[in-house]
Amino acid sequence: MQINDLTSQLSQMSNRNEFVEFLDNNISDIETAFYKSDYDTINKAKFTLEDLVYDLESKTLIVQDEVESSIRAFIIILADFYDRFSLYGAIDTIFQFTPECSVKKRLTASKRFLGYRDLDLNPFNNDFDYILQLLEDAFIDNDLGYRAKITLMNYFLRAKDMLHDNYQDELSHLAQLFNTKKENYRILNDIAIQKLVNTGVLEGKEILKDKRDKLHKEEVDSSLSLKFPKLYRKEKVINKEVSDYASAYEQSVHKNLKTIQYLAKQFGVRNDNNYHRLERGTAIIDDESLLYQYVFSYGEMHKQKLIDSIGMIPWSELEGKTFDCIDWGCGLGFGTVALHDYFLQNDSNIHIDNLLLIEPSIMALKRAVLHTDTLKYIKNVVKPVNKDLESLIHEDLLFGTSENRLQIFSNILDVPQFDIKTLARKIEKTQKGNNYFICISPSIDDLRNQRIESFYKYFSENHSTTLYADRHGNIKHWTRFEKVFLAVID
């Protein structure tokens, strides 16, 4: 779906039921149109899209305290778009409809600084910490942190526009805050932002705008595909990790998540900077210290969620059967090891014939192979594939012969770096038989949750499905959005 086609179709709608049905059926394609289009495409459409929110409001197609999840997801998409392009009128309008999420934090910041009028009150400097805390929270909460960085660029550009001619001292002081407060706000350490601010005080306003637009373009276009660490791009044969950690794991009596957590404490060091480098678990790991930090930051969360979700499958009806298994975006192999832990704890008479591990980080993948290739319940082959989900081809997913498949999606389906329907079609074409899906992610916002809904909906509409679990709530102190289901693919 193209953005222009979307706006054309929406402009013709006046019935709310029709609007809801359209979004329910197309929200995945709409998300792709916004986030998989290059900068030039979205930039050309910005004024047409700006008018859209006024049309939706006047027709009462959007309402406050919205209950329809697909509409909330669409509002988040529009709100993000308006914020990045500083469309103040549209921001002011859509703010009242936007559910609580990282995007709303950015809108709150933008409404504040775009609404400044009385410069004698020194608003840019006085509100600096208020604005930065909102953007810092959005930056950390949202794994696509470049959007918060663009809002921050817009903040400085707004200051430049208003202070350059008559308030140069105030502008210089604001630029100093960008440097002196770097320890307080991680977002200020971005090289592009620092360069923009350091040179922007003396440059003309139009030059600065051009630089901002160029940075926005670079951020959008570079986010369209994952980048692999260059060091590992040419590695074709992937073997398990060889290291002191690997030796310790192989010599351990128990191969399980508890052992992985124990060894991480022996070999790694907790580090706040490394925690931030993980980018809420979405970064492609290229540093051994991050392997340990991942266990510290997310190990217990993965273990609790996975064991609970795995238990929703009716294993008692599947005793004696064998499965092939795919661990999608496997990281260190937590999904597979959790599955194995569950089988051990319940003394199951179930085995994994073949295991496919898919992961864009070669370091994480090698450790995942280490963690899984000697597990008791895995009989035959562990096949590693060093790719992101968008790059997978038909042949990558051809493995094993079992008619029963386990598909583990732990903290991956909600990540907006691949098209949900494209992934579903790849599975449909290559994974024939009984597919048991375990899909769990944090509940970040309606748009991210809607990706999991769209994934499930694709299979429920095209194949015979049985839904075992559909939970949206906390497990201990972690948020969760979950679908566990069987899809029979003929």
Kindly state whether residues 378 and 433 are assigned to the same domain. yes
Kindly state whether residues 391 and 477 are assigned to the same domain. yes
| Boundary residue ending a domain (222, 246, 275) | 222
| Boundary residue ending a domain (222, 251, 269) | 222
What is 256-278 written as a DSSP string? SHHHHHHHHHHH----HHHHHHT
What is 230-244 written as a DSSP string? GGGTT--------SH
Kindly state whether residues 108 and 199 are assigned to the same domain. yes
d(CA 474, CA 338): 19
CA dihedral 477, 483, 486, 490 (to 10 degrees): -140
Write down the pLDDT at residue 140: 75
Kindly state whether residues 204 and 255 are assigned to the same domain. no
Kindly state whether residues 341 and 430 are assigned to the same domain. yes
pLDDT digits (tens), the chain, 490 positions: 788 888 889 989 999 999 999 999 999 999 999 988 899 999 999 999 999 999 999 999 999 999 999 999 999 999 999 999 999 999 999 999 999 999 999 999 999 999 998 888 889 999 999 999 999 998 876 545 678 989 999 999 999 999 988 899 999 999 999 999 999 998 998 888 998 898 888 888 888 888 888 888 987 887 665 555 544 455 567 889 999 999 999 999 999 999 999 999 999 998 888 887 887 777 888 899 999 999 999 999 999 999 999 999 999 999 999 999 999 999 999 999 999 999 999 999 999 999 999 999 999 999 999 999 889 888 778 899 999 998 999 999 998 889 999 999 999 999 888 899 999 999 999 999 999 999 999 998 999 999 999 999 999 999 999 999 999 999 999 999 999 999 999 9
CB 350 within 8 A of CB 312: no
Kindly state whether residues 274 and 403 are assigned to the same domain. yes
- Tell me which amino acid residue 366 is: K
d(CA 447, CA 70): 8
Kindly state whether residues 205 and 249 are assigned to the same domain. no
Domain range for 135 is 3-222
| Boundary residue ending a domain (169, 203, 222) | 222
CB 386 within 8 A of CB 369: no
Write down the pLDDT at residue 232: 45
CB 482 within 8 A of CB 440: yes
CB 94 within 8 A of CB 53: yes
How would you label 117-138 residue by residue, b for 16+ Cβ within 10 Å and e otherwise? eeeeeebbbebbeebbebbbbb
Kindly state whether residues 385 and 406 are assigned to the same domain. yes
d(CA 58, CA 62): 9
Q: Any idea what DSSP says for residue 487? A: E
How far is C-alpha 7 from the chain's CA centre?
25
With tokens 């604005």, the residue in question is 131
Measured CA to CA in angstroms, residue 16 lies from 12, 65, 269, 480 at distances of 12, 15, 54, 29
Kindly state whether residues 198 and 242 are assigned to the same domain. no
Measured CA to CA in angstroms, residue 93 lies from 43, 96, 107 at distances of 20, 6, 11
Write down the pLDDT at residue 433: 96
What's the total number of domains in the chain?
Answer: 2
Measured CA to CA in angstroms, residue 270 lies from 5, 245, 259, 296, 301 at distances of 49, 16, 17, 7, 16
How would you label 55-92 residue by residue, b for 16+ Cβ within 10 Å and e otherwise? ebeeeebbeeebebbbbbbbbbbbbbbbbbbbbbebbb
Would the pTM of this model clear 0.85, i.e. be above it?
Answer: yes
Kindly state whether residues 172 and 251 are assigned to the same domain. no
Q: Any idea what DSSP says for residue 321? A: -
Kindly state whether residues 127 and 247 are assigned to the same domain. no
- Tell me which amino acid residue 479 is: T
Kindly state whether residues 282 and 327 are assigned to the same domain. yes
Burial class (CB in 10 A: 0-12, 13-18, 19+), 393: exposed
**Which tokens hold the place of 88?**
């103040």
Q: Could you tell me the sign of the dihedral formed by the alpha carbons of 429, 430, 432, 434, in that order?
A: negative
Q: Any idea what DSSP says for residue 121? A: G
Q: What is the CATH number of the domain that holds 411?
A: 3.40.50.150
